[in-house]
Amino acid sequence: MSPAPSATGPVQGRGPQPVEGHGAGNPGQPSSTLTWSSRRLLDAILRVREVGIVAVLVVFVAVATSVQPRFIDPQNIKFVFSNAIIYALLALGETVVVLSRNVDLSVGSVLGLSAYLSSDLFSQVHHIPIVAVFLAGLAIGLACGAVNGAVVAVARVPSLVVTLATLYIYRAIDVLIVGGGMVVASTLPGAFLSIPTSSLGPIPYLAIAVAGTVAVGAYVLASFRPGRELYAIGSNPDAARLAGIPMGKRIFWSFVVSGGIAGLAGVLWAATYGTIDSTAGLNYELTVVAAVVVGGVNIFGGSGTVVGAALGALLLATINQALYVLGISSFWDPAIDGALIVLAISLDHWITLRLTRALRKGAVQHAT
Amino acid sequence: MTGFGTMQPVLSLEEVSKSFGAVRALEDASLELYRGEAHALVGENGAGKSTLVKVLAGVYRPDEGRLLVEGREEVFATPASARDAGIAVIYQEPTLFPDLSVAENVFMGRQPLRSGRRVDKAAMRRRVEDVLGPLGVKLDPDRVARGLSIADQQIVEIAKALTLDARVIVMDEPTAALSAYEVERLFGVVETLRNRGAAVLFISHRLEEVFGICQRVTVMRDGRRVLSQPLAGLSSDDLVRAMVGRELEGRSSHQGAEGGKTVLSVERLTREGVFTDISFEVRSGEIVALAGLVGAGRSEVVRAVFGIDRYDAGRVLVAGKALRKGSPSIAMAAGVGLVPEDRRLQGLVMELSIASNVGLASLGRLARFRLLRRAVEQRFAGEWSARLRLKYGRLSDPVSTLSGGNQQKVVLAKWLSREPRLLIVDEPTRGIDIATKAEVHRLLVELARSGVAVLVVSSETPEVLRVADRVLVMREGRLVAELGHEEATEHAIVAAATGQREVAA
């Protein structure tokens, strides 16, 4: 049966109106021309997001170096990297959570708890292998993450509230255990303390390892069903439910991953700083969320990459160090981080608005 | 199209009922779909079509009745189980993942895998191209879904159905937002689907489309099936009659004050892509109804008149003075009130007391030195509650404790207490029991008698007939008919709203 003519007259005459425009459609101009160009535009913007951070980074380094050539001393570069490593690692875990439209504010407290408990093992258990200490830190983190994930996924409490609560609870447990004490570097084995400091030229081996981990994380999120489903959940939860995605399960595991990574980061923190009291990792969650957002991950989920988040962490660490080297009071640090967040989010919003408008206009032109 | 009777339906509903509270949305509704047919489902707003679709989609579980797929009884616990049974639903507004690519949207939750359980992106892309190619659609599988036109979004949903090898494809008003070219393309798709042996359930208000592509039709009214037969031999007049069906309810005998002054005049109001070139007047003392199908743009017009939404062209004049666009407070100052469509979301502050809600639009009058006086508020609210015969416990009870009808009276009281010149009421009796409905109608008529101009948006034709002095009918963003008190019949309104102009009014 042919679709056009019918007993009651042709369909086209009283043509229905498309939402983004009016007038009869033009059969000679299929929508493909529009979709191609808009896709290219979007692709460019998405790529720009990571390229943009690298560009800001390069500009910053260039300016800082021109003012104070000491900025690109190998020693200084090494310092930037060792600062960035822990934030980049935490940002990786945080991104996994944020992609599904959640947030994990407890990472700083998990890091603190893991840092103390794992490094204390060296004095508790003689000749404990370093690997075992890392595994202990990982286990602590996984347990903390599992608690977060269970409450969010099963009890359906918003993650902002849950992890704000566990931020305090995990820190309280930390304070309870540590009391006024601390672990000092002299109780830690030299091999442990040299993990963050051994380097290939100015680049610590650890930085290479973290970069590798981020790359693996990016691959997993891009190429495996659970990863894609996290993006889907964050992009449109209703559609995710209709598509039969096991949302509770995915969200639970995203918190376990974030917790586990924070646990590992705790061990690295202990190795990096050597002195661990109950303030380890205090306020880290704010910098981590900042790095994630500055790195182009949408705070409402659905888009962004772990590579961007890690670059965001590197950018923040570079700025911190630059302020120090340039002799600017570190008082300005939080202000600059804050400005970057506002800038990143405004940019995101602006791009989305521009894009939506451009696409809608295109649709009208296409329709008329 | 004979011989369906001897075949086994690919999908059937047997005497399915579904209630929401006291409202029976479906009552012993039945439906049979056969392989290779395009089956139209038609009915007025609120006839139960959407509920039926949601039962098929696994979104609602029926209270009673059975659902059979290829003769076997099935219970759909989730939308995913309906999908696994081969039923694909394409909603009027598709639910896509805006951040993900077209190919990912098509395959989300069931991506093809290659070695190591990795998602096979190349296969995904290829299969989407394979499916879209024969449809003559050029859509890049790699582009993100954000910014796709509604038509292209529907194509993505159709691709989903095709890659699923769905046996049943339900299209819920798929053409409502499409251009003529896109409708043509969609019809081609339906034809292809039929030739593959799928059953297509096609829901549309546009009867010419129904006759254009469907072989059989089911008409629903008040949650029941009233007709199910081959389209051959039926006229669109037959369908309209079956859709309207019921006895006309009594209508008010009051005649509008013909000589009343023009209170509202809307001149060539246009909001791109939403409504076009809308002009009408409302005089003091008359009730004008804005009728039409859901999505025709009626609520959007009144929102623009009241200043909630902006518009691109045209003017709104109240008592001869142009209103600045986009400012509800200026509209209010000019004597306009709006009782919105969704009272729970837009009309009331559910947690606040009855008294506070009644007084909410009159705070200036209830305050002294900018401080609100509770006693005055109580007295004020008490007066209006009595005038509207509100049934309540105490005025300090939260408004959420009231029934739907009484909540609506609170919203009315809020606006009436401002003594407006023009009252706009959007769906005044949605979800209200019959007795309170009659009271609301009485109130509106009284209000008009007292000289207020009333503009009512309503999807319920009997209500329109009962209260309105004049009926404006909108279709697809345009005013298509203006019917006086005498000309306005249920038949004429439905015919104008669905575009069946050849049907004699």
- Find the range with the poorest average confidence among A148-152, B334-338, B343-347: B343-347
Among candidates A8, A17, A243 on the partner chain, residue whose Cβ is nearest the Cβ of B108: A243
Q: Mention every residue, 6+ apart, whose C-beta is less than 8 A from residue B317.
A: B264, B265, B266, B267, B323
Does residue B52 belong to any structural domain of this protein?
yes
Are B393 and B283 part of one and the same domain?
yes
Does residue A53 belong to any structural domain of this protein?
no
Burial of residue A200, with CB atoms counted within 10 A of its CB: 0-12 exposed, 13-18 middle, 19 or more buried = exposed
Does residue A209 belong to any structural domain of this protein?
yes
What is the count of structural domains for chain A? 1
Interatomic CA distance for residues A235 and A251, integer angstroms:
14
Are B218 and B276 part of one and the same domain?
no
- The residue ranking higher by pLDDT, B206 or A285, is A285
Burial of residue B81, with CB atoms counted within 10 A of its CB: 0-12 exposed, 13-18 middle, 19 or more buried = middle
Are B213 and B354 part of one and the same domain?
no
ipTM given for this complex: 0.80
Q: At what angle do helices A333-367 and A284-294 cross, to 10 degrees?
A: 30
Residue B227 belongs to domain with CATH number: 3.40.50.300
Are B479 and B348 part of one and the same domain?
yes
Are B297 and B226 part of one and the same domain?
no
Q: What is the pLDDT of residue B103?
A: 95
Across the interface, whether the CB atoms of A7 and B477 are under 8 A apart is answered no
pLDDT confidence tier of residue B464, bands split at 50, 70 and 90: confident
Phi/psi-derived region of residue B335, left when phi > 0, alpha when psi is between -120 and 50, beta in every other case: left
Are B225 and B346 part of one and the same domain?
no
Q: Which domain holds residue A258?
A: 66-352
- The residue ranking higher by pLDDT, A37 or B505, is A37
- The residue ranking higher by pLDDT, A85 or A338, is A85
CA angle (B414 as vertex; B408, B420 as ends), nearest 5: 115
- At B87 the three-state DSSP class reads strand
Does residue B54 belong to any structural domain of this protein?
yes
Q: What is the pLDDT of residues B352-384, one digit of tens each?
A: 888 888 888 888 778 778 788 788 888 888 888
Does residue B150 belong to any structural domain of this protein?
no
Q: How far does B105 lie from chain A, in Å, by closest CA?
A: 9
Helices marked H in B21-94: 49-56, 79-84
Q: What is the helix (H) or strand (E) element at residue A258, kind and residue range?
A: helix A247-273
Q: Does B209 touch chain A (CB under 8 A)?
A: yes
Across the interface, whether the CB atoms of A22 and B78 are under 8 A apart is answered no
Torsion of CA A136, A137, A143, A148, to 10 degrees: 180
Residue A308 belongs to domain with CATH number: 1.10.3470
Does residue B37 belong to any structural domain of this protein?
yes
Are B271 and B234 part of one and the same domain?
no
Does residue A125 belong to any structural domain of this protein?
yes
pLDDT at B322 over 60: yes
What is the count of structural domains for chain B? 2
Question: HSE (CB half, 13 Å, CA atoms) of B56?
Answer: 31
Size of chain A, expressed as the number of residues it contains: 368
Q: Which domain holds residue B438?
A: 262-498
Interatomic CA distance for residues B151 and B316, integer angstroms:
33
Are B203 and B343 part of one and the same domain?
no
Q: What is the pLDDT of residues A117-167, one digit of tens each?
A: 999 999 999 899 999 999 999 999 999 999 999 999 999 899 999 999 999
Among candidates B147, B178, B206 on the partner chain, residue whose Cβ is nearest the Cβ of A355: B147
Whether A239 and A246 have beta carbons less than 8 Å apart is answered as: no
Which residues does chain A have within 8 Å of residue B191's beta carbon, measured at their own beta carbons?
1, 3
Does residue A202 belong to any structural domain of this protein?
yes
Are B230 and B293 part of one and the same domain?
no
Both tokens assigned to B262: 């023009």
Whether A304 and A94 have beta carbons less than 8 Å apart is answered as: no
Does residue B178 belong to any structural domain of this protein?
yes
Does residue A294 belong to any structural domain of this protein?
yes
Does residue B30 belong to any structural domain of this protein?
yes
Does residue A59 belong to any structural domain of this protein?
no
Q: Does B192 touch chain A (CB under 8 A)?
A: no
Q: What is the pLDDT of residue A104?
A: 97
Q: What is the helix (H) or strand (E) element at residue A240, kind and residue range?
A: helix A237-242
pLDDT at B302 over 50: yes
Q: What is the helix (H) or strand (E) element at residue A61, kind and residue range?
A: helix A32-67
- The residue ranking higher by pLDDT, A28 or A152, is A152
Domain end residue (candidates: B244, B274, B294): B244
Among candidates A4, A39, A360 on the partner chain, residue whose Cβ is nearest the Cβ of B142: A39
Are B174 and B295 part of one and the same domain?
no
Does residue B177 belong to any structural domain of this protein?
yes
Are B372 and B456 part of one and the same domain?
yes
Does residue A8 belong to any structural domain of this protein?
no
Are B335 and B437 part of one and the same domain?
yes
Q: Which string of DSSP letters, residue by residue, matches A180-235? A: T--B-GGGS-HHHHTTTT-EETTEEHHHHHHHHHHHHHHHHHHHBHHHHHHHHHHH
Beta bridge partners of B383: none
Whether B204 and B42 have beta carbons less than 8 Å apart is answered as: yes
Which residues does chain B have within 8 Å of residue A25's beta carbon, measured at their own beta carbons?
178-182
Does residue B283 belong to any structural domain of this protein?
yes
Does residue A148 belong to any structural domain of this protein?
yes
- The residue ranking higher by pLDDT, A1 or A176, is A176
Q: Which of A22, A47, A229 to mutate to test the interface with B (most CBs of B within 10 A)?
A: A22
Q: Which of A12, A19, A355, A357 to mutate to test the interface with B (most CBs of B within 10 A)?
A: A19
pLDDT at B101 over 70: yes
